[in-house]
Homo-oligomer: A and B are copies of this chain.
Amino acid sequence: MRTKQQYIDSVMKLRRNIFCKGERISRDHEDLEMTLNVLGHTFEAAADPATADLCTAKSHLSGETINRFCHIHQNPQDLHKKQDMTRMLCRHVGYCIGRCMGADATNAVNSIAFEADKVNNGNTEYYKNFLKWLDNFQKNDYVLACAQTDTKGERMLRPSQQPDPDQYLRVVERKSDGIVVTGCKVHITQASVADEIMVVPTRAMTADEKDYAVAFAVPSDYDGVTQIVHPHNMNRRKHFKRGFDFGAVDSYVIFDKVFVPWDRVFLCGEHQHGGLAALLFALFHRHSYSGCKPAIGDVAIGLAALAAEVNGIEKTPHVKEKLASIIQIAELGYAAGYTASALSKPEVNIPGFGQVPFGPGSYIPNSIYCNVGRCLTGEAVFHEQEILCDIAGGVPATFPYEQDLVNPETKAYVDKYLKRNSKMPVEDQIKFWLYFSDMTVSAIAGSMNYASFHGGGSPIMEQIAITSQYDIKARKDMVKRLAGMS
């Protein structure tokens, strides 16, 4: 396994294929620094004996100890640990830990490549290719981004109906030694600071959309790959330092006639498996949300409880009711993930077919519980922000700038009038409100809300998954029996 520094050193060597604020930038750009610290923590935690049990696993390929983010889940316990690792690490950095997409993509593709080969009767070697790639990936302890969401163009048209066929990433040429792909994947978190990028389809495909059913992995600075990035950083502090400065960075990842050799191709043309790949990555990723969302809930609980304490209202019934509401959401989200892990099997729930065996024996979390949990926590995002706003009052929106808090001409006024709770040092109250503002009224807070709502699939996507996979017929039959119907 790598150290945090080894990871950063290796990222620094990547080709300058990133654009930000009108310039081609290096990965040592200050706007990427906070993000590197977030991802870097996944290496620290794996090395730390106190957290190593959750953060490492034994590779089923090599038998070596690897970072859990590189692991293929071998049993329900692996999924329990992945969930708990995710919650723990997100608590450490205060929001998204940013590395789960890799684990989720490799687990999805592991099953898909295996199954696609099966239907191809040995005419393809996707699974062999994938295992070779995976072994290297695990041994190098790589950070992997997953590029799923296409630009989609006209939303009511299918991929094959688009005026511009590149609005979904596709194979534009098949060669003897590989394929050529074109398209653009958007909202790809951490793609610019990842070692590699795994590409998977974004939706179900029809038989005439084979060119869109493609999965492969390439380095993040690969030839023909260009990234336009949007970093989200907490503003830098000079006087009132945070415990952790959080950052993340999203990319538009553009593939312009990118050549991918066959041994990096894990699916190409099997349209049904394309749709299943989209479903499976989403499923594993929603399981990850059963770890991160409760952690974000933990932060919200802490923010709400401290805001109430600073404001001196922590014992009022309406504050307790609001706290209970956030706790309820966080722990129901956790329970859904826990149950999904406990009921995991080497099976997938295919709409219309129910649970069917799937993949080489690796474990897939229960789909219904993953989806109801992610849907709940996704729908709660703005409700939680409202609670924080309600308890805090207007303070976060009008709080003086850091510099005014230390300016000798204003400091005495500030210290006198910002003091609400006489039992807490005013400096702590100041640090609290500054951090509260970071998490609620800053630009990064706005982006976090959108990420928390749409990331891993918007609530409407989970609703579609739920109603298409749930055994509604059994409930109808039950009611027919109770009602005395024939």
- A331 touching B368 by the CB < 8 A rule? yes
Q: Which of A60-68, A102-110, A264-272, A433-441 contacts its partner?
A: A433-441
A187 contacts which of B397, B416, B445, B447 (Cβ < 8 Å)? B397
Q: Which of chain B's residues have a CB closer than 8 A to the CB of A137?
A: none
In the bound assembly, the distance between CA atoms of A425 and B382 in angstroms comes to 32
11 contacts between A and B (CB under 8 A): A20-B401, A184-B413, A186-B417, A226-B410, A226-B413, A230-B400, A252-B400, A332-B336, A334-B339, A435-B479, A446-B446
A29 at the interface (CB under 8 A from B): no
Interface hits, A228-276 → B, CB 8 Å = 228, 230, 232, 240-244, 250-252, 254, 256
Contact yes or no, B312 A155, CB < 8 A: yes
Closest residue on chain B to residue A401 by CB atoms: B21
Interface mask (A304-338 → B, CB under 8 Å = 1, otherwise 0): 01100101110011101101110110011011101
What residue in chain B is nearest A226 (Cβ atoms)? B413
Docked complex Cα distance between A187 and B167 (Å): 47
Q: Do residues A375 and B324 form an inter-chain contact, with CB atoms below 8 A?
A: yes
Complex contact A431–B306 (CB within 8 A): no
Neighbouring B residues of A152 by C-beta, 8 Å: 420
A400-416 contacts to B, CB under 8 A, are 400-404, 406-407, 409-410, 413-414, 416
Give the distance in Å from the alpha carbon of A252 to the alpha carbon of B411 in the complex: 13
Q: Chain A interface (Cβ within 8 Å of chain B)?
A: 19-24, 91, 94, 149, 151-157, 163-164, 166-167, 184, 186-187, 226, 228, 230, 232, 240-244, 250-252, 254, 256, 298-299, 301-303, 305-306, 309, 311-313, 316-318, 320-321, 323-325, 327-328, 331-332, 334-336, 338-340, 342, 368-369, 372-373, 375-376, 381-383, 385-386, 389-390, 392-404, 406-407, 409-410, 413-414, 416-422, 425, 427-428, 431-432, 434-436, 440-443, 445-447, 449-451, 453-455, 458-460, 462-464, 466-467, 470, 472, 475-486
Contacting pair B318 A460 (CB below 8 A):
yes
Known: A254-B413, A335-B369, A435-B479. A320 touches B446 (CB 8 A): no
User: A440 to B435, Cβ gap below 8 A?
Assistant: no
- A466 and B324 in contact, given A155-B312, A243-B484, A446-B446 (Cβ under 8 angstroms): yes
Instruction: Check if A228 sits within 8 Å of B414, measured CB to CB.
Output: yes
**B164:A416 contact, CB within 8 angstroms:** yes
Top 10 A-B pairs ranked by shortest CB distance? A22-B403, A441-B446, A302-B479, A435-B483, A397-B450, A324-B463, A302-B475, A382-B386, A250-B398, A335-B339
Question: Binding site of A, secondary structure by majority: helix, strand, loop or mixed?
Answer: helix
Residues of chain B within 8 A of A299, CB atoms compared: 475, 478-479, 482
Known: A416-B164, A417-B184, A472-B323. A400 touches B313 (CB 8 A): no
CB of A241 to closest CB in B, whole Å: 5
B residues within 8 A CB of A445? 446
User: Known interface pairs A166-B416, A373-B335. Does A301 touch B440 (Cβ–Cβ under 8 Å)?
Assistant: no
- A395 neighbours in B (Cβ, 8 Å): 186-187
- Pair A298/B478 contact, Cβ less than 8 Å: yes
Nearest CB on B from A446, distance (A): 3
- Which residues of chain B come closer than 8 Å to A242, judged between CB atoms? 482-484
Contacts of A400 in B (CB 8 A): 228, 230, 252
Contact at A389–B483, with CB atoms within 8 Å?
Answer: no
Q: From residue A146, how far is it (CB to closest CB) to chain B in Å? A: 14
Which single member of B320, B393, B476 contacts A464 (CB below 8 Å)?
A: B320
- Chain B nearest CB, measured from A109 CB (Å): 23
Q: Which residues of B contact A483 (CB under 8 A)?
A: 242-243, 431-432, 434-436
Chain B: CB-nearest residue to A316: B317
Min CB distance A320 to B, Å, is: 5
Partner of A164, one of B21, B256, B419, B440: B419
Could you say which residues of chain B place their CB within 8 Å of the CB of A250?
Answer: 397-398
Given contacts A299-B478, A443-B442, contact A22 B404 (CB under 8 A): yes
A226, A395, A402, A467, most chain B CB atoms within 10 A: A467
Given A22-B407, A155-B312, 4 other A-B residues pairs in contact with their CB atoms under 8 A: A252-B417, A390-B458, A432-B485, A441-B447
Neighbour of A22 across the interface among B20, B406, B443, CB < 8 A:
B406
